[in-house]
Amino acid sequence: MAYQDRSIGVTEDALTIKGYYFPGAVKRVPLAAIRSVRRTDMSALHGKGRIWGTANPGYWANFDPGRSRKSVAFLVDAGRAIKPFVTPDDPVAFESALRAGGVEVTDGGSAPLI
């Protein structure tokens, strides 16, 4: 059930997000703490133009200089005020790894302004 790319990993017990707080820093979210994950489509103002950080206080995008070439993002609800906004290199494999770990993934239309 593992997934790994240069900035995101899923193991049997956790989601790890590299470059979350600062390039090089890692955020670890136990899979058991994740309430849900929403798959969204990105556009220029809704994720693709954001390499790191946010313009929306409810979400935070990890450092991903390749985000502008991607079209799918995932919003992770782990019960905190700020939800991680992640863009895996292989969205299908990422979603599959989360589902195998017991995490609910829903389709949520377009990404928020970020």
Whether residue 113 has pLDDT greater than 90: no
Per residue in 69-108, pLDDT tens? Answer: 999 999 999 999 999 999 999 999 999 999 999 999 999 8
* CA separation, residue 37 to residues 22, 24, 65, 82, 96 (Å): 23, 24, 22, 13, 12
Whether residue 55 has pLDDT greater than 70: yes
Whether residue 52 has pLDDT greater than 90: yes
Q: What's the rounded mean pLDDT across residues 45-52?
A: 92
Q: What's the rounded mean pLDDT across residues 3-11?
A: 97
Indicate the helix (H) or strand (E) that contains 28. Answer: strand 26-30
pLDDT of residue 45: 87
* d(C-alpha 52, C-alpha 35), whole Å: 24
